Amino acid sequence: MATMTLGEFDLIARYFTRTPRRAALGVGDDCALIGPLPAGQQLAVSSDMLVEGRHFLSTVAPDRLGHKALAVNLSDLAACGAEPIAFTLALAMPRVEEAFLDGFARGLFALADEHGIDLVGGDTTAGPLNICITVFGAVPGGQALLRSGARAGDALWVSGALGDARLALEVFRGTVALAGGAFDSVRRRMECPTPRVALGQALRGLATSAIDLSDGLVGDLGHVLARSGVGATVNADALPMSAALASMPRALQYECMLAGGDDYELLFSAPPTAAREVMAAAEKCGVAVARIGRVEATPGLRIVDDAGALLAQRFTAFDHFRAAP
Protein backbone atom coordinates (compact mmCIF):
# COMPACT_ATOMS: atom_id res chain seq x y z
CA MET A 1 0.00 0.00 0.00
CA ALA A 2 1.42 3.36 -0.97
CA THR A 3 1.72 5.77 1.91
CA MET A 4 0.18 9.18 1.39
CA THR A 5 2.43 12.15 1.91
CA LEU A 6 1.40 14.09 4.94
CA GLY A 7 -0.34 17.36 4.03
CA GLU A 8 0.57 20.77 5.39
CA PHE A 9 -2.07 20.89 8.10
CA ASP A 10 -1.69 17.26 9.19
CA LEU A 11 2.03 17.89 9.44
CA ILE A 12 1.52 20.95 11.62
CA ALA A 13 -0.97 19.05 13.77
CA ARG A 14 1.27 16.03 14.17
CA TYR A 15 4.64 17.62 14.75
CA PHE A 16 4.15 21.18 15.87
CA THR A 17 0.92 21.43 17.84
CA ARG A 18 1.06 21.14 21.60
CA THR A 19 -1.07 22.64 24.33
CA PRO A 20 0.60 25.88 25.39
CA ARG A 21 1.60 26.21 29.02
CA ARG A 22 2.27 29.91 29.21
CA ALA A 23 0.84 31.47 26.06
CA ALA A 24 -2.86 32.36 26.06
CA LEU A 25 -3.39 30.87 22.58
CA GLY A 26 -1.08 28.61 20.62
CA VAL A 27 -1.02 26.96 17.18
CA GLY A 28 -4.22 26.77 15.16
CA ASP A 29 -5.67 30.24 14.82
CA ASP A 30 -4.67 33.23 12.71
CA CYS A 31 -2.61 34.65 15.55
CA ALA A 32 -1.15 33.39 18.77
CA LEU A 33 -1.83 35.34 21.91
CA ILE A 34 0.90 35.94 24.46
CA GLY A 35 0.37 37.63 27.79
CA PRO A 36 -0.75 39.77 29.43
CA LEU A 37 2.81 40.45 30.54
CA PRO A 38 3.33 41.29 34.21
CA ALA A 39 3.09 45.04 34.84
CA GLY A 40 6.19 46.95 33.78
CA GLN A 41 7.67 44.19 31.62
CA GLN A 42 8.76 44.79 28.05
CA LEU A 43 8.46 42.26 25.22
CA ALA A 44 11.89 41.24 23.82
CA VAL A 45 11.72 39.85 20.26
CA SER A 46 14.38 38.28 18.05
CA SER A 47 14.50 36.25 14.81
CA ASP A 48 17.23 34.03 13.42
CA MET A 49 17.20 32.08 10.19
CA LEU A 50 19.15 28.88 9.50
CA VAL A 51 19.88 27.96 5.88
CA GLU A 52 21.26 24.59 4.84
CA GLY A 53 24.88 24.73 3.65
CA ARG A 54 25.35 28.13 5.24
CA HIS A 55 24.41 27.75 8.89
CA PHE A 56 24.50 24.01 9.12
CA LEU A 57 25.92 21.06 7.21
CA SER A 58 23.59 18.55 5.58
CA THR A 59 25.24 15.90 7.79
CA VAL A 60 23.75 17.28 11.01
CA ALA A 61 21.29 15.01 12.83
CA PRO A 62 17.71 16.41 12.66
CA ASP A 63 17.31 16.56 16.46
CA ARG A 64 20.47 18.63 16.77
CA LEU A 65 19.20 20.93 14.04
CA GLY A 66 15.93 21.39 15.93
CA HIS A 67 17.91 22.17 19.06
CA LYS A 68 20.24 24.61 17.34
CA ALA A 69 17.48 26.50 15.52
CA LEU A 70 15.91 27.36 18.86
CA ALA A 71 19.20 27.69 20.77
CA VAL A 72 20.57 30.47 18.57
CA ASN A 73 17.37 32.44 19.12
CA LEU A 74 17.34 31.87 22.88
CA SER A 75 20.94 33.08 22.87
CA ASP A 76 19.73 36.46 21.61
CA LEU A 77 17.21 36.72 24.43
CA ALA A 78 19.96 35.72 26.86
CA ALA A 79 22.16 38.54 25.56
CA CYS A 80 19.37 41.00 26.40
CA GLY A 81 18.76 39.50 29.83
CA ALA A 82 15.22 38.51 28.83
CA GLU A 83 13.23 35.53 30.08
CA PRO A 84 11.95 33.44 27.14
CA ILE A 85 8.20 32.89 26.88
CA ALA A 86 7.28 31.59 23.44
CA PHE A 87 8.46 31.21 19.84
CA THR A 88 7.21 30.79 16.30
CA LEU A 89 8.66 28.53 13.61
CA ALA A 90 8.67 29.27 9.88
CA LEU A 91 9.83 26.16 8.07
CA ALA A 92 10.54 25.57 4.37
CA MET A 93 11.56 22.08 3.29
CA PRO A 94 11.84 20.42 -0.11
CA ARG A 95 9.58 17.48 0.79
CA VAL A 96 7.87 15.93 3.77
CA GLU A 97 10.28 13.49 5.40
CA GLU A 98 8.78 12.14 8.56
CA ALA A 99 12.08 10.85 9.94
CA PHE A 100 13.46 14.37 9.60
CA LEU A 101 10.39 16.02 11.13
CA ASP A 102 10.31 13.55 13.96
CA GLY A 103 13.92 14.18 14.96
CA PHE A 104 13.70 17.92 14.35
CA ALA A 105 10.61 18.29 16.54
CA ARG A 106 12.18 16.12 19.25
CA GLY A 107 15.31 18.30 19.49
CA LEU A 108 13.29 21.49 19.25
CA PHE A 109 10.80 20.60 21.98
CA ALA A 110 13.45 19.13 24.29
CA LEU A 111 15.10 22.56 24.45
CA ALA A 112 11.74 24.34 24.60
CA ASP A 113 10.76 22.16 27.57
CA GLU A 114 14.06 22.87 29.28
CA HIS A 115 13.08 26.54 29.24
CA GLY A 116 9.34 26.04 29.76
CA ILE A 117 8.41 27.88 26.56
CA ASP A 118 5.69 27.31 23.94
CA LEU A 119 5.76 26.99 20.17
CA VAL A 120 2.77 29.21 19.44
CA GLY A 121 2.63 29.41 15.64
CA GLY A 122 4.52 29.70 12.42
CA ASP A 123 4.36 28.94 8.74
CA THR A 124 5.10 25.81 6.73
CA THR A 125 5.93 25.73 3.04
CA ALA A 126 7.74 23.70 0.39
CA GLY A 127 11.13 25.09 -0.63
CA PRO A 128 14.87 24.78 0.02
CA LEU A 129 15.46 23.77 3.66
CA ASN A 130 15.25 26.94 5.69
CA ILE A 131 14.32 27.38 9.33
CA CYS A 132 13.32 30.71 10.83
CA ILE A 133 12.42 31.00 14.49
CA THR A 134 11.22 34.11 16.26
CA VAL A 135 11.43 34.16 20.04
CA PHE A 136 9.47 36.30 22.46
CA GLY A 137 10.69 37.08 25.94
CA ALA A 138 9.99 39.39 28.84
CA VAL A 139 12.33 41.80 30.55
CA PRO A 140 11.64 44.37 33.28
CA GLY A 141 11.16 47.76 31.61
CA GLY A 142 14.43 49.60 31.01
CA GLN A 143 16.58 46.72 32.31
CA ALA A 144 17.41 44.92 29.06
CA LEU A 145 21.14 44.47 28.49
CA LEU A 146 22.18 46.39 25.39
CA ARG A 147 25.25 46.62 23.18
CA SER A 148 25.46 50.34 23.84
CA GLY A 149 26.25 50.41 27.55
CA ALA A 150 29.98 49.62 27.76
CA ARG A 151 32.00 52.34 29.53
CA ALA A 152 35.74 53.03 29.65
CA GLY A 153 37.18 51.24 32.66
CA ASP A 154 34.70 48.33 32.53
CA ALA A 155 36.07 44.80 32.56
CA LEU A 156 35.23 42.52 29.62
CA TRP A 157 34.01 39.00 30.32
CA VAL A 158 32.98 35.94 28.35
CA SER A 159 31.07 32.88 29.45
CA GLY A 160 32.04 29.24 28.81
CA ALA A 161 34.79 28.45 26.32
CA LEU A 162 35.43 29.90 22.87
CA GLY A 163 36.37 28.45 19.53
CA ASP A 164 35.05 24.87 19.70
CA ALA A 165 32.47 25.31 16.94
CA ARG A 166 35.11 26.70 14.60
CA LEU A 167 37.47 23.87 15.50
CA ALA A 168 34.73 21.35 14.64
CA LEU A 169 34.15 23.11 11.33
CA GLU A 170 37.86 22.88 10.51
CA VAL A 171 37.76 19.15 11.24
CA PHE A 172 34.80 18.78 8.86
CA ARG A 173 36.72 20.80 6.27
CA GLY A 174 39.68 18.44 6.70
CA THR A 175 42.20 21.12 7.68
CA VAL A 176 42.62 19.68 11.20
CA ALA A 177 42.54 16.12 12.53
CA LEU A 178 40.82 15.41 15.81
CA ALA A 179 39.74 11.96 16.91
CA GLY A 180 37.29 10.24 19.19
CA GLY A 181 35.86 11.94 22.24
CA ALA A 182 37.56 15.27 21.53
CA PHE A 183 35.90 15.47 18.12
CA ASP A 184 32.53 14.44 19.56
CA SER A 185 32.74 17.17 22.16
CA VAL A 186 33.57 20.01 19.74
CA ARG A 187 31.05 18.70 17.22
CA ARG A 188 28.45 18.80 19.96
CA ARG A 189 29.41 22.39 20.75
CA MET A 190 28.91 23.29 17.08
CA GLU A 191 25.67 21.40 16.55
CA CYS A 192 24.15 21.69 20.02
CA PRO A 193 25.07 25.06 21.54
CA THR A 194 23.86 25.94 25.03
CA PRO A 195 22.17 29.35 25.18
CA ARG A 196 23.21 31.15 28.39
CA VAL A 197 19.66 32.12 29.30
CA ALA A 198 19.97 32.05 33.10
CA LEU A 199 23.29 33.92 33.05
CA GLY A 200 21.84 36.67 30.84
CA GLN A 201 19.04 37.28 33.33
CA ALA A 202 21.42 37.10 36.28
CA LEU A 203 23.57 39.82 34.69
CA ARG A 204 20.74 42.37 34.63
CA GLY A 205 21.78 45.25 36.83
CA LEU A 206 25.39 44.01 36.87
CA ALA A 207 26.56 44.09 33.26
CA THR A 208 26.71 47.42 31.47
CA SER A 209 26.50 45.81 28.01
CA ALA A 210 26.13 42.33 26.53
CA ILE A 211 26.07 40.52 23.20
CA ASP A 212 25.99 36.84 22.29
CA LEU A 213 28.89 35.52 20.24
CA SER A 214 27.52 34.26 16.94
CA ASP A 215 29.96 35.68 14.38
CA GLY A 216 33.23 35.56 16.33
CA LEU A 217 34.62 37.56 19.25
CA VAL A 218 36.41 40.23 17.22
CA GLY A 219 33.38 41.05 15.11
CA ASP A 220 30.83 40.86 17.91
CA LEU A 221 32.96 42.87 20.32
CA GLY A 222 33.33 45.36 17.48
CA HIS A 223 29.54 45.84 17.51
CA VAL A 224 29.60 46.57 21.23
CA LEU A 225 32.48 49.02 20.90
CA ALA A 226 30.83 50.83 17.99
CA ARG A 227 27.47 51.05 19.74
CA SER A 228 29.06 52.16 23.00
CA GLY A 229 31.51 54.63 21.42
CA VAL A 230 34.54 53.09 23.17
CA GLY A 231 37.58 50.90 22.44
CA ALA A 232 39.06 47.87 24.18
CA THR A 233 42.11 45.76 24.83
CA VAL A 234 41.65 42.00 24.90
CA ASN A 235 44.26 39.56 26.20
CA ALA A 236 44.19 36.63 23.77
CA ASP A 237 45.93 34.47 26.36
CA ALA A 238 43.08 35.02 28.82
CA LEU A 239 40.45 33.62 26.45
CA PRO A 240 38.89 30.44 27.82
CA MET A 241 39.17 27.30 25.72
CA SER A 242 38.28 23.63 25.93
CA ALA A 243 40.81 20.83 26.38
CA ALA A 244 40.26 19.90 22.72
CA LEU A 245 41.22 23.36 21.49
CA ALA A 246 44.06 23.56 24.02
CA SER A 247 45.69 20.61 22.23
CA MET A 248 45.89 22.59 18.98
CA PRO A 249 48.68 24.92 17.74
CA ARG A 250 48.58 28.42 19.22
CA ALA A 251 47.81 30.15 15.91
CA LEU A 252 44.78 27.95 15.38
CA GLN A 253 43.62 28.55 18.96
CA TYR A 254 43.73 32.29 18.40
CA GLU A 255 41.93 32.00 15.08
CA CYS A 256 39.16 29.81 16.54
CA MET A 257 38.65 31.89 19.69
CA LEU A 258 38.95 35.35 18.12
CA ALA A 259 37.40 34.83 14.70
CA GLY A 260 35.43 31.58 14.99
CA GLY A 261 31.67 31.93 14.99
CA ASP A 262 28.85 29.88 16.45
CA ASP A 263 30.04 29.93 20.07
CA TYR A 264 26.80 31.35 21.51
CA GLU A 265 28.59 32.44 24.64
CA LEU A 266 27.86 35.80 26.23
CA LEU A 267 30.35 38.65 25.97
CA PHE A 268 29.64 41.39 28.48
CA SER A 269 31.13 44.37 30.25
CA ALA A 270 30.83 45.27 33.92
CA PRO A 271 32.53 47.73 36.22
CA PRO A 272 35.63 46.17 37.88
CA THR A 273 33.97 46.70 41.25
CA ALA A 274 31.23 44.23 40.20
CA ALA A 275 33.71 41.38 39.59
CA ARG A 276 32.76 39.38 42.68
CA GLU A 277 29.06 39.73 41.95
CA VAL A 278 29.60 38.68 38.33
CA MET A 279 31.45 35.56 39.46
CA ALA A 280 28.81 34.76 42.06
CA ALA A 281 26.02 35.17 39.48
CA ALA A 282 27.83 32.91 37.02
CA GLU A 283 28.47 30.28 39.66
CA LYS A 284 24.81 30.28 40.61
CA CYS A 285 23.97 29.63 36.96
CA GLY A 286 26.59 26.87 36.70
CA VAL A 287 28.48 28.70 33.94
CA ALA A 288 32.16 29.61 33.97
CA VAL A 289 33.10 33.20 33.19
CA ALA A 290 36.51 34.60 32.34
CA ARG A 291 37.79 38.15 32.43
CA ILE A 292 39.39 38.81 29.05
CA GLY A 293 40.16 42.49 28.84
CA ARG A 294 39.03 46.02 29.47
CA VAL A 295 37.03 48.76 27.86
CA GLU A 296 38.97 51.93 27.10
CA ALA A 297 38.20 55.42 25.91
CA THR A 298 40.65 55.08 22.97
CA PRO A 299 38.64 53.80 19.99
CA GLY A 300 39.56 50.51 18.29
CA LEU A 301 40.24 46.98 19.43
CA ARG A 302 43.74 45.99 20.54
CA ILE A 303 44.49 42.29 20.94
CA VAL A 304 47.54 41.53 23.04
CA ASP A 305 49.18 38.44 24.52
CA ASP A 306 50.08 37.79 28.14
CA ALA A 307 53.27 39.81 27.76
CA GLY A 308 51.27 42.79 26.52
CA ALA A 309 52.61 42.51 22.95
CA LEU A 310 50.16 43.38 20.17
CA LEU A 311 49.15 40.40 18.07
CA ALA A 312 49.95 41.09 14.45
CA GLN A 313 47.45 38.64 13.01
CA ARG A 314 44.28 40.10 11.54
CA PHE A 315 41.10 38.44 12.71
CA THR A 316 37.95 39.03 10.75
CA ALA A 317 34.38 38.40 11.67
CA PHE A 318 32.02 36.27 9.69
CA ASP A 319 29.88 38.26 7.27
CA HIS A 320 27.31 36.52 5.08
CA PHE A 321 27.90 38.86 2.17
CA ARG A 322 31.67 38.74 2.27
CA ALA A 323 34.07 35.84 1.84
CA ALA A 324 33.61 33.16 4.47
CA PRO A 325 36.59 32.56 6.77
Pick from 228, 205, 250: nearest CA to 299: 228
**8 Å CB contact between 63 and 112:** no
30 binds ligand ADP (CB under 6 A): yes
* Candidate ranges 30-38, 48-56, 186-194, 268-276; the one touching Mg ion (CB under 5 A): 30-38
Q: Residues near 286 by Cβ (< 8 Å), separated by ≥ 6? A: 198
Select the residue interacting with ligand ADP from 27, 50, 197, 257 (CB under 6 A): 27
| Rounded Cα gap, residues 230 and 292, in angstroms | 16
Q: Is 30 in the site for Mg ion (CB under 5 A)?
A: yes
269: number of Cβ within 10 Å: 29
d(Cα 190, Cα 60) in Å, to the nearest integer? 10
Q: Which residue is nearest to Mg ion (CB)?
A: 30
The residue range among 28-36, 155-163, 165-173, 291-299 that interacts with ligand ADP, by the rule CB under 6 A, is: 28-36
**By CB under 6 A, residue 231 contacts ligand ADP:** no
- Assign 43 to helix, strand or coil: strand
- CB contact at 8 A, 277 and 199: no
Question: Shortest approach of Mg ion to residue 29 CB, angstroms?
Answer: 8
Q: Is 156 helix (H, G, I), strand (E, B) or coil?
A: strand
The 191-230 contact track toward ligand ADP, x by CB under 6 A, reads ----------------------------------------
- 119 sits near ligand ADP (criterion: CB under 6 A): yes
SS3 content of the chain, % helix, strand, coil (to 5): 35, 25, 40
* Pick 123 or 184: Cβ nearer Mg ion: 123
Instruction: For residue 253, give the H/E element and its range.
Output: helix 250-254
Number of amino acids touching ligand ADP (CB under 6 A) = 13
Q: Could you say whether residue 10 binds ligand ADP (CB under 6 A)?
A: no
Binders of ligand ADP among residues 261 to 320 (CB under 6 A) are none
Can you give the binding site for Mg ion, defined by CB under 5 A? 30
Can you give the binding site for ligand ADP, defined by CB under 6 A? 12, 16, 27-30, 89, 91, 119, 121-124
